[in-house]
């Protein structure tokens, strides 16, 4: 019940936040070209971050006033810190990243070897550090466990970026992944904070598909990280290791092959990917 309510509240607040931010995102500083060369506002991923913050603030006030049992839980707080922190790192890349050093781990490492830190390297290094901070209160005992859970969150964020190559793709994949997690855990109440973020993000799906704005690394980075946090708070240690292996393998695959080509090569995946998108 908490998860469904969180998703519904997130969607409503996300829709309102999207309308409120429309004027800010329309300013020239956010203008970027998409894959088809159309100039659009980027960083619409600010919407789920700000919506989650607003919902958490309301829950905190309600809890302090005795109108809501528990208030903001540790799991909710982890999801909130993750969405805010990873959105901030993605926003830096959206606004000042040029992409001239290329994409992926090797390109950023080559730039670092030349003594130049790219915004992508900042996003990756900052994301690793942030993942450790986020997971410390929720991971359990042991440095190895913390390292594994932090890797799951950080690699989840990077995977979200790798899927963000077509309108609506990251939102669709994130929504499906979260639905699978909800079903697998019997809608564990620890997923409520993540549900708010995912619900708010899915409120952006029509505009993303219609190319009215782009999610940007701001949103893709944050969504992937929150899904990682959701796995950490809702799954057991052994299952988390399996999920980490899958996410790590997908990250490596994304470095050597194009997800877009793979999706286009499989009929059902191609149809789902293109559903609702402009021709």
Query: What would the pLDDT profile of 226-264 be if each residue is shown by its tens digit?
Result: 999 999 999 999 999 999 999 999 999 998 888 999 999
- The model's confidence at residue 169, banded by pLDDT at 50, 70 and 90, is very high
Please give the Cα distance from 106 to 114 (Å, whole number).
Answer: 12
279 assigned to some structural domain = no
109 assigned to some structural domain = yes
- The pTM assigned to this predicted structure is 0.93
SS3 annotation, 74-102 = HHHHHHHHHHHHHHHHHHHHHHHCCCCCC
Number of domains in the chain: 1
Query: What would the pLDDT profile of 76-87 be if each residue is shown by its tens digit?
Result: 999 999 999 999
The domain of 139 spans 2-274
235 assigned to some structural domain = yes
Q: Give the helix/strand (H/E) hosting 273.
A: helix 267-274
Query: What would the pLDDT profile of 85-131 be if each residue is shown by its tens digit?
Result: 999 999 999 998 765 555 655 665 666 666 667 777 888 889 999 99
CB 47 within 8 A of CB 201: yes
230 assigned to some structural domain = yes
pLDDT of residue 171: 98
260 assigned to some structural domain = yes
pLDDT of residue 58: 95
Beta bridge partners of 40: 32
């Amino acid at each position: 019940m908490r998860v469904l309510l969180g998703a519904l509240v997130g969607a409503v607040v996300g829709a309102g936040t999207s309308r409120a931010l429309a004027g800010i995102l329309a300013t020239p500083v956010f203008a970027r070209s998409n894959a088809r060369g159309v100039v659009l506002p980027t960083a619409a991923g600010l919407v789920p971050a700000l919506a989650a913050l607003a919902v958490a603030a309301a829950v905190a006030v309600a809890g302090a006033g005795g109108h809501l049992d528990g208030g903001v839980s540790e799991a909710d707080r982890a999801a909130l810190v993750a969405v805010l922190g990873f959105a901030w790192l993605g926003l830096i890349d959206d606004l000042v990243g040029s992409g001239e050093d290329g994409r992926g781990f090797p390109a950023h490492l080559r730039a670092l070897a030349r003594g130049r830190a790219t915004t992508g390297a900042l996003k990756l290094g900052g994301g690793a550090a942030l993942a450790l901070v986020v997971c410390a209160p929720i991971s359990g005992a042991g440095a190895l466990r913390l390292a594994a859970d932090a890797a799951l969150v950080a690699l989840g964020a990077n995977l979200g970026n790798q899927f963000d190559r077509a309108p609506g793709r990251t939102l669709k994949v994130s929504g499906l992944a979260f639905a699978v997690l909800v079903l697998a855990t019997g809608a564990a109440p620890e997923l409520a904070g993540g549900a708010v973020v995912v619900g708010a993000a899915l409120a952006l799906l029509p505009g993303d598909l219609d190319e009215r704005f782009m999610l940007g690394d701001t949103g893709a980075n944050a969504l992937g990280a929150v899904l990682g946090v959701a796995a950490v708070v809702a799954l057991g240690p052994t299952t988390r290791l399996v999920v980490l292996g899958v996410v790590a393998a997908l990250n490596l695959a994304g470095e050597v092959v194009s997800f877009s080509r793979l999706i286009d090569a499989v009929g059902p995946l191609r149809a789902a990917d293109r559903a609702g998108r402009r021709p």
